[in-house]
């Protein structure tokens, strides 16, 4: 089987990040978020599942490469899971979770942006449409988790022992 192109590899990466996002949201949802944030995270998880499905469906249009693209996705998901385990320990709270999500969402925005930029040369219609849908969602996720982090931080006593 032929190796993946840079575009196909990047597609695998965004699929893997969508997979990892679902795992992260499931973990962070257990850190007792306020009700409005829990609702927002539920929507983000649903949107991450849709991104995974859209990417997986698109991977099937790359002749004979779907399994390799999805293998790349699973590798990225595993790396994301390792980062999550490293960053969030037993003492983590919802603020820690939102700070992790801010980093993760920034990474997703970056990866989707790179995929879109690569596709300016590749001109793959499916990639163009997927990026057109997903990039604004990822930017909204980043904005939302950043705002949640700041709101949670505002409620913290800066002089309390950690």
- CA–chain centroid gap for 36, Å, is 20
Interval 20-44: pLDDT, tens: 999 999 999 999 999 999 999 999 9
Q: Is residue 162 part of a domain?
A: no
Structural domain includes residue 160: no
What is the pLDDT at residue 15?
Answer: 98
* Structural domain span for residue 118: 6-154
The answer to the question of residue 159 being in a domain is no
Asked if residue 92 is part of any domain, the answer here is: yes
Does residue 1 lie in a domain region? no
pLDDT for 72: 97
Q: Any idea what the CATH number is for the domain that residue 58 is in?
A: 1.20.1260.10
pLDDT at res. 162: 78
pTM reported for the whole predicted model:
0.95
Please report whether residue 99 resides in a domain. yes
For the chain, the domain total comes to: 1
- Stretches in the chain below the pLDDT threshold 70: 1
Crossing angle of helices 125-154 and 35-59, rounded to 10° = 160
Within a domain: 115: yes
Asked, for residue 58, whether it belongs to a domain, the answer is yes
* Sign of the dihedral defined by the CA atoms of residues 141, 145, 148, 154, in that order: negative
DSSP 6-72: HHHHHHHHHHHHHHHHHHHHHHHGGG---HHHHHHHHHHHHHHHHHHHHHHHHHTTSTTTHHHHHHH
């Amino acid at each position: 089987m032929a190796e993946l192109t840079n575009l196909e590899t990047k597609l695998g990466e965004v699929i893997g990040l969508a997979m990892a996002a679902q795992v992260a949201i499931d973990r962070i949802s257990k850190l007792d978020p306020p009700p409005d944030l829990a609702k927002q995270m539920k929507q983000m998880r649903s949107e991450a599942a849709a991104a995974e499905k859209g990417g997986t469906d698109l991977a099937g249009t790359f002749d004979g490469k779907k399994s390799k693209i999805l293998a790349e996705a699973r590798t990225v998901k595993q790396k994301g899971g390792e980062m999550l385990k490293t960053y969030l320990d037993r003492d983590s709270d919802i603020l820690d979770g939102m700070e992790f999500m801010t980093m993760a969402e920034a990474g997703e925005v970056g990866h989707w942006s790179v995929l879109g930029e690569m596709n300016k040369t590749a001109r793959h219609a499916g990639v163009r449409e997927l990026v057109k849908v997903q990039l604004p969602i990822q930017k909204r996720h980043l904005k939302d988790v950043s705002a949640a982090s700041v709101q949670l931080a505002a409620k913290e006593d800066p002089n309390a022992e950690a």
